[in-house]
Structure 1
Amino acid sequence: MKEENNKKLGLALSGGGFRASFYHIGVLARLADLGLLRSVEFISTVSGGSIIGALYYLHLKKLLEEKRDVEIKDEDYQKIVAKIEVDFLKVIQKNLRLRTFLNPVKNIKMILPNYSRSDHIGELYDKFLYRKVLDTNNNQPIKMKDLIIKPCCESNSFHPLKDNKNRSAKVPILLINATILNNGHNWCFSASDMSETQIDQFRKKFDKNFRFKKITSYEDIYKHKDFELGLAVAASACVPGIFAPLAISDLYDEKVRLQLVDGGVHDNQGIRGLLDKRLNCTHFILSDASAQLKDEREPNVQLSNVIKRSNGILADNLREQQLSNIIKEHSDNVALLHLKKGLPVKEVSYFDKRHNLKEESKLCNTEQPCEIFGVNTDVQNLLSGIRTDLDSFSEVEAFSLMLNGYRISQYELEKVNIKNFVTNAALKEKRYQFFKIDSWISSPVINSYYKNLLVTASKRSFKAIRMNLLVKFITILFVVLICGTIISTVGPKFIYWANESISKGQLLLLILLLITLLIVYKGLKFFSHKIPSVWFLINLLPFLLVSLTGFIFIGFYLITFDRLFLYLGSFKVLEKLKIKRKI
């Protein structure tokens, strides 16, 4: 009986951009339908998981502060997920990543060391996702300390770690994870504090990087006591190479400017947060929609690709080690819900001494196939390849990912001890919007247009052009017309210039001029840090020109190609094409 009372359920939401966010919504929906969300005591999030985890947490805070424990029903959790499902998709279809380029004033502000595109997208998260959840009239950013939940009719001294045992609807602790670029350690934001995650005594013996002293409360720090939720989420989802690190200045001594990047660099599954000994978490639901290493028949051996591939191998190995360790230690108390669930593994045969194949290469099933949880194997494979980006996602992409998360959860949660937390077996399943895609995701034969949408979903650019032959033809025609116009205008002059003779002296003079310009440029760059005017000319002027003009092209893209992509990927168009083919 004592063991039953000591059970604590943790939920980890992995990184993986908006792909992960939509997948996690499906997982949350299934947990809501099982009545399990009321039992979750810890939510550890990374990157795309942090974006959706913070939104869910705000809705949950509103519920727990408005209703007494005995008044809260499982249907309330279902309503929260149903609302998130609709609201989140609307926001994501605004294309937040490209919107960070739309404000020329913000673009110029990024010259400053303490402001980057990561800060700007954090502001957009707050504006479009978080700010209005608790109060529709609120025009101020949500602060991290605003996340502290004060449950209705509970004492002011309530704390989840000691008082949750007396509640049916648990008050979870939210852990938003990022990675410290300064020392490589994990950084965690919570409602009560933000600090480097403490490492165990054994690791301290060989990890000699400096450590940041733990901050026990936002009220204890000089400048950042009102640190914003949007910025915390932006730090957690600060994908290296796409977003600059999120800087926090004047927080620590030794002239250290804290630089935070995506939490997935350190732990892309969010497992580490749940394993904190102080939490005493005993059961784990791991929702994993992170990117996994793809097979390559002939790896590109160019230096840049080898570096990228090596980083991918390191990340994949870290993921597998972390998952193996937690499953070995906690066995049937772990539910792993990952995007490659049920996919077969290809075994590649070799040539024998006569140069004959030993046997044909074959697919090996290491677990039950995807069809057992209602998803076509080819569809599952395509879903696992969807881009891990922060751009617009179409209805078809979003619905497919959400339903996939739901179906995998439905199957996997029945196999482990997590089902013992279910207290309301009579709870009716809710009909979420993403169920519309059910016949497409489960069909034994994939519809060709649906397949094309999922193939295109793996691409990061020119998606609208890839989705439709007519659009592709019009775009090519448009480019040809522009090129033709340029050639017809400039061509004759270019031919005339090309046919002109040039002396050896003129050629030598031109070469000397180019060498001189190169030397002058290198010299100016070398002395630019000493002469402000030169520094401005070399470094800032090009940046300012791009900042003040680039937003025009981004704006044009958003109102043309991005909208076209969303239209072609809408469920309405998918259904319309299905009806036409039947006729």
Structure 2
Amino acid sequence: MSVEGIGLALSGGGFRAGLFHLGALWRLNELGWLQRIDDITSVSGGSITSAHLGLQWSKLHFDSQGVATNFQQVVVTPLREFYSHTIDTTTILTGMLNPFISAGEKLDHAYAKRLFGKATLQNLPDPEPGVPRFTFYATNLQTGASVRMSRAYLGDYRIGRIEQPTIRLSSVVAASSAFPPFYCPFEIEVDPEAWKKWDEGGDFFKPLANQKKLYLGDGGIYDNMGMERLWNRRQTILISDAGAPMKVFEREGEVAENYAGTMSRVLDIMTEQTRALRKRMFVSALKSNEKQGTYWGIATRIADYALTENHHAPPLLSDNAKTARLAQVRTRLDEFKPEEQEDLINWGYALTDAAMRRYVIAPVVPAGSLPCPNHLV
């Protein structure tokens, strides 16, 4: 398999991630890079923004420089409206109190009502030059493997693939963001006759390919940065990471002694270690020139890109107490006020600008302008 082209990975992290990535996509569009990307992969909160971008792709008007001139109208405005509503409280409470519907099903309904309607994976664009492939990650709770969902196929390397799946986009995003314990497992119905075995792998094809349901969880359980497909297929990789580093408990008594608190902490540690290992592998590949690209994260210090020291225009923002706090913003699926939205959009935009100018594009490219100029971080 030849490894070439450009991939973009959008991490998980609830509505916080969706807004941070919106700022990143905003800057990539201005740089003329959206049309250059061959693959966009996403997890959890990142899948909300990515799925909306994919669904609206055909409406974007690209100029001769590869810039979508109506990006704000088609992509930004509907997403900002969506992120101004709380959907986790009602979906979780209904799932707990109503024995006839799960919280995951209610989440699916909320996504359909507010953003995706009846669209399916087949409503995403067909990949071609200038049009990326959109892939959404969930985790199969039966096999422990990553499940990839795209227009071309739904696949689990331990089972097989279903080609041209017609799963509703709201269900795909609900599965990708089915964070335990409330939304997990999220059930997706499949046709057992549709499974095809991979040329390699598929060690559980026989026992699992005859089942009518997949039991899925948040894609971040397996890979919260969603970079696995890109690692195997793309030479240049851009990673937008809205996952916060795990909080260190500095005081005695902060570690919970109840079962729920302990399990939550254990899950945080496991997620952090998986994320750290993947990030370390990626940075090592960049340093050795095995891969090209760059990484920006919500907890990144923008000064670390050393723009002025390397003859670039200075960064759009400076590190301060407010930018540091953004990494600790909640990862819930609840209402984000306009000020919160603009902070996250500006920070994602500024970090993307710094990372791209430092490591990917020519030094002569000027810095951008913050998309929310009336509200600076």
Query: Which TM-score band applies after superposition, normalised by the shorter structure?
Result: 0.7 to 0.9
> Aligned to 1:242, which of 161, 174, 182?
182
Q: Deviations over 1:183-231 (max 9, x none)?
A: 21000110121111x3xxxxxxxxxxxx21222333xxxxxxx310110
Residue in 1 that maps onto 2:160: 213
The question of whether the paired residues in 2 share the 8 Å contact of 1:116 and 1:244 is answered with: no
The question of whether the paired residues in 2 share the 8 Å contact of 1:27 and 1:406 is answered with: yes
Aligned: 1:190 with 2:150:
yes
Q: Deviations over 1:122-163 (max 9, x none)?
A: 2222222133xxxxxxxxx001112143xxxxxxxxx63xxx
Residue in 1 that maps onto 2:52: 55
- CA distance in 1: counterparts of 2:84 and 2:136, whole angstroms: 24
Q: How far 1:179 sits from its partner (Å)?
A: 0.5
Unaligned runs of 5+ in 1: 132-140, 150-158, 165-169, 199-210, 219-225, 344-364, 442-583
The question of whether the paired residues in 1 share the 8 Å contact of 2:316 and 2:370 is answered with: no
> Aligned to 1:340, which of 299, 311, 323?
299
> Aligned to 2:42, which of 41, 45, 53?
45
Residue in 2 that maps onto 1:480: none
Aligned: 1:20 with 2:17:
yes
Return the structure number with greater strand share: 2
Residue in 1 that maps onto 2:374: 436
Residue in 1 that maps onto 2:361: 419
Residue in 2 that maps onto 1:281: 234
The question of whether the paired residues in 2 share the 8 Å contact of 1:13 and 1:286 is answered with: yes
Amino acid at match of 2:223: D
Aligned: 1:181 with 2:151:
no
Q: How far 1:431 sits from its partner (Å)?
A: 6.8
2:137 aligned counterpart, secondary structure: strand
Residue in 2 that maps onto 1:94: 85
Residue in 2 that maps onto 1:294: 247
The question of whether the paired residues in 2 share the 8 Å contact of 1:60 and 1:80 is answered with: no
> Aligned to 1:79, which of 62, 70, 73?
70
Residue in 2 that maps onto 1:230: 170
> Aligned to 1:260, which of 216, 239, 243?
216
Amino acid at match of 2:282: I
The question of whether the paired residues in 2 share the 8 Å contact of 1:174 and 1:191 is answered with: yes
Return the structure number with greater helix share: 1
Q: Deviations over 1:306-334 (max 9, x none)?
A: 33222212211111110111221233612
1:413 aligned counterpart, secondary structure: helix
Residue in 1 that maps onto 2:196: none
Amino acid at match of 1:172: P
Unaligned runs of 5+ in 2: 193-208, 308-313
1:100 aligned counterpart, secondary structure: helix
> Aligned to 2:343, which of 385, 400, 404?
400
Distance change (3 Å), C-alpha of 1:42 and 1:107: same
Instruction: Name the larger-Rg structure.
Output: 1
RMSD: 3.0
Amino acid at match of 1:435: P
The question of whether the paired residues in 1 share the 8 Å contact of 2:187 and 2:216 is answered with: yes
- CA distance in 2: counterparts of 1:62 and 1:262, whole angstroms: 29
Residue in 2 that maps onto 1:146: 123
- CA distance in 2: counterparts of 1:396 and 1:77, whole angstroms: 25
- CA distance in 2: counterparts of 1:18 and 1:76, whole angstroms: 26
Amino acid at match of 1:26: G
- CA distance in 2: counterparts of 1:335 and 1:78, whole angstroms: 25
- CA distance in 2: counterparts of 1:255 and 1:33, whole angstroms: 46
Distance change (3 Å), C-alpha of 1:289 and 1:60: same
- CA distance in 2: counterparts of 1:284 and 1:180, whole angstroms: 25
Which structure is higher in RCO with an 8 Å CA cutoff and minimum separation 6? 2
Amino acid at match of 2:159: F
> Aligned to 1:313, which of 269, 272, 275?
269
Q: How far 1:74 sits from its partner (Å)?
A: 4.3
Q: How far 1:101 sits from its partner (Å)?
A: 6.7
- CA distance in 2: counterparts of 1:49 and 1:90, whole angstroms: 16
1:184 aligned counterpart, secondary structure: coil
- CA distance in 2: counterparts of 1:41 and 1:249, whole angstroms: 29
Q: How far 1:415 sits from its partner (Å)?
A: 1.5
1:436 aligned counterpart, secondary structure: coil
1:55 aligned counterpart, secondary structure: helix
Q: Deviations over 1:404-427 (max 9, x none)?
A: 0111111111121x316x9x969x
Distance change (3 Å), C-alpha of 1:37 and 1:390: same
The question of whether the paired residues in 2 share the 8 Å contact of 1:11 and 1:44 is answered with: yes
2:161 aligned counterpart, secondary structure: coil
Within-5 A mapping of 1:104-123: 111-112=99-100, 115-123=101-109
Q: How far 1:400 sits from its partner (Å)?
A: 0.1
Q: How far 1:403 sits from its partner (Å)?
A: 0.1
1:51 aligned counterpart, secondary structure: helix
- CA distance in 1: counterparts of 2:227 and 2:135, whole angstroms: 11
- CA distance in 2: counterparts of 1:301 and 1:101, whole angstroms: 23
Residue in 2 that maps onto 1:136: none
Residue in 2 that maps onto 1:8: 5
> Aligned to 1:127, which of 113, 120, 144?
113
Q: Deviations over 1:485-513 (max 9, x none)?
A: xxxxxxxxxxxxxxxxxxxxxxxxxxxxx
**Alignment size in residue pairs:** 348
TM-score, L = length of structure 2: 0.83
Q: How far 1:44 sits from its partner (Å)?
A: 0.4
Amino acid at match of 1:437: H
Q: Identity over the aligned pairs, expressed in percent?
A: 23
Distance change (3 Å), C-alpha of 1:86 and 1:256: closer
2:147 aligned counterpart, secondary structure: strand
1:214 aligned counterpart, secondary structure: strand
